[in-house]
Amino acid sequence: MVASTHWLASATGMGVLERGGNAFDAAVAAGFVLQVAEPHLNGPGGEVPILLWSEAEQKVSVVSGQGVAPSAASIERFTELGLDLVPGTGLLAATVPGAFGGWMLMLERWGTWSLADVLAPVIHYAEHGVPVLERVSTTIESVKGLFTDEWTTSAATWLPGGNVPAAGTRLANPVLAATYRRLVAEAESASSTREGQLEAARNAWYEGFVAEAIAEFCAKTAWRDSSGEVHGGLLTADDLAAWRPSVEEPLTFDYRGHTVCKTGPWGQGPVFLQQLALLEGFDLDAMGHLGADWIHTVTEAAKLAFADREAWYGDTDVPLSDLLSQEYNAERRRLIGAQASLELRPGAPGGRTPRLPVYPDPSTIPGAPGLSGARAPQGVGEPTVGRVDTGEQVISADGTVKGDTCHVDVVDRFGNMVSATPSGGWLQSSPTIPQLGFCLGTRAQMFWLQEGLPASLRPGARPRTTLSPSFALRDGRPWLAFGTPGGDQQDQWSVNFFLAVVHGKTNLQEAIDAPMFHTEHFPSSFYPRGSRPGVLHVEDRVDAGVVAELRRRGHEVEIQDSWSLGRLSAVARDGDLLKAAANPRGAQGYAVGR
């Protein structure tokens, strides 16, 4: 079974399984196809966290394909540039592009296919083109002025003939196809073995021609970014050569016979577990799925968990045992009352004193993504067009986004399972590197330029990313791989889905189809880091009486269109049966199996 956010990726993964590949081969091939099928949501210059179950090893592992901050990326350096936030676009926000390394590590350690075989689909689609999604066309339209006036290398890639590609037409990226063809050629000339070729490909990416082109572009070019100023990049060849992806143990929490597995606190994944730790003290079964009590309780638990994310998470020592302890959560649970909270309330695990960042003043930021009523913080230039909402993203004319990402899940006949959330390096991140056909990511915007915080910028650290694939065991056996795009919403929509399956007694597709909700109460992870205290988004399919009751309890409910929130996909292993489901919203996600 394969389920993903785009039908071409799902079909690609299924084709690999039908030709003898395993789940890891299929996920890698599908992941690369997502780079050309959903280029507004991910690209080769981005990153990928992966959770996987190896049937041979009988364990869950985390692959961290999340790159780190450059050695020159310090708070002092940004302060010298007059910045108090890392820009949301452009070269300054680039981390080491970790997706390629993450995919290659999984392929080498657990996969069976060769580099040439897993890259053949993406080379085909990049060379011959893919049907342009309406959202891709809308995204390019929103940044057309930026590309034409400033980022001319991106215009050459994404504005064929100077025009925005219309939805349904075919768009190719022959330069990217050539990059991947060269990787295969260099790998095959370097070694006759599968493992040797994969190592050669990694070397070509992080120490060879790809790294050289990235380093030269960062050092020798400068571009206007969302600060309104022109900046070059900080990423060097040494930064790329020094980085390696890692394999880590998952962080877990047991909930009602299920063990949920997430990445460590260098991602936001543990916030899923914190929500479960709070919710296990409530009788959700008695509340009824999507009733007022259910939505209120789940939302208030999210507010508390995400407040802890703000105060405690980062690529550093995090007091996770305290954050997930029964004592801590019993104390925190008492904060969930009958009325909606309008405060950001981090806890004090183990008696430690929480410290929150100093957030931008909303009064100075009218209209910026993630803020009520606002504009960009210091330095953001005047947009040439208004913000464009593509469904999963809000995109400004300077390329600034709120929300992002794609997702793929795979389970094979052997019992191996994968949940992966590739993201970053989307087409509007930064200018296209002309020799490579892709741009760098902007994940460094999630660092804080304030000293002493868990997520403070420091050289060699991973940003506290929103990317959050999910995996669950049931009674100790591998059961469910799932996830969604959506930035800060990922670990709200995924929790909603999981609770619907566990408590709502729905099947996978019913849980995905159910009306979604999320809060914007806590600060956004994306530039310029705003929040909307008390705001609760619900799809209009939620009962009107429930909405009225939520408003009575103090929630600032904003009604969203039907089928507009969430882009979940999932695969499951239920005894001898394999199952899959995908998001119908946008008529784009796809689940397939046989």
Query: What is the pLDDT confidence band of residue 370, given thresholds at 50, 70 and 90?
Result: very low
pLDDT at position 360, please?
Answer: 78
- What's the pLDDT band for 401 if we cut at 50, 70, 90? low
Percent pLDDT > 70 in the chain is 93
Rounded CA gap, 148 and 384, in Å?
Answer: 11
- How much of the chain exceeds pLDDT 90, in percent? 90
pLDDT digits (tens, 9 = 90+) for 21-38: 999 999 999 999 999 999
d(CA 268, CA 305): 10
383-407 core/surface letters (b: 16 or more CB in 10 A; e: else): bbeebbbbbbbbbbbbbbbbbbbbb
Burial class (CB in 10 A: 0-12, 13-18, 19+), 252: middle
Give CA–CA dist 498/511, Å, rounded: 8
67-98 residue pLDDT tens = 999 999 999 999 999 999 999 999 999 999 99
Rg, C-alpha atoms of the chain: 22
Q: Are 171 and 130 in contact (CB under 8 A)?
A: yes
Long-range pairs for 282-286 at CB < 8 Å and ≥24 separation? 282/333, 284/499, 284/503, 285/503
CA–CA gap between residue 281 and residue 171 (Å, rounded): 51
Q: For residue 363, what pLDDT is reported?
A: 46
Tokens 């703000």 -> residue: 310
pLDDT at site 378: 26
pTM: predicted TM-score of the whole model, two decimal places: 0.94
Q: DSSP character for 440?
A: B
User: What is the dihedral angle through the alpha carbons of 358, 362, 367, 369, rounded to the nearest 10 degrees?
Assistant: 30
Residue type, position 107, single letter: L
pLDDT of residue 246: 98
Residue 395 confidence (pLDDT): 52
**Band of residue 394 on the pLDDT scale cut at 50, 70, 90:** low
**Nearest of 41, 110, 112 to residue 418 by alpha carbon:** 110
Three-class secondary structure of residue 182 per DSSP: helix
H-helix or E-strand containing 395? strand 394-395
Q: What is the pLDDT of residues 330-357, one digit of tens each?
A: 999 999 999 999 999 999 999 999 999 9
* Tens of pLDDT, residues 104-155: 999 999 999 999 999 999 999 999 999 999 999 999 999 999 999 999 999 9
Joined together, the tokens standing for residue 12 give 């690609």
Please choose, from the candidates 27, 87, 11, 93, the residue with its C-alpha nearest in 3D space to the C-alpha of residue 63. Answer: 27
Distance CA(111)–CA(26), nearest Å, equals 9
DSSP string, 447-487: SBSSTTSTTB--TTPPP-B----EEEEETTEEEEEEE---G
Lowest pLDDT segment from 218-232, 389-403, 514-528: 389-403
Q: Does the pLDDT of residue 375 top 70, yes or no?
A: no
Q: Mind listing the pLDDT tens digit for each residue in 495-548?
A: 999 999 999 889 999 999 999 999 999 999 998 888 999 999 999 999 999 999
Distance, in Å, from the CA atom of 75 to the CA atom of 582, rounded to the nearest integer, reads 42
**In what helix (H) or strand (E) does residue 109 lie, and over which residues does it extend?**
helix 99-110
Contact 210, 202 (CB under 8 A): no
What angle separates helix 23-37 from helix 99-110, to the nearest 10 degrees? 160
CA distance 372 to 582: 32
Residue 550 CA to residue 537 CA, distance in Å, equals 11
Query: Does residue 491 sit in helix, strand or coil?
Result: helix
Question: Is the pLDDT score of 368 beyond 90?
Answer: no
Q: Which amino acid is at 13?
A: G
Highest-pLDDT range among 299-303, 392-396, 583-587:
299-303
Q: Which of 470, 430, 421 is nearest to 60 (CA)?
A: 470
Is the CB of residue 252 less than 8 Å from the CB of residue 51?
no
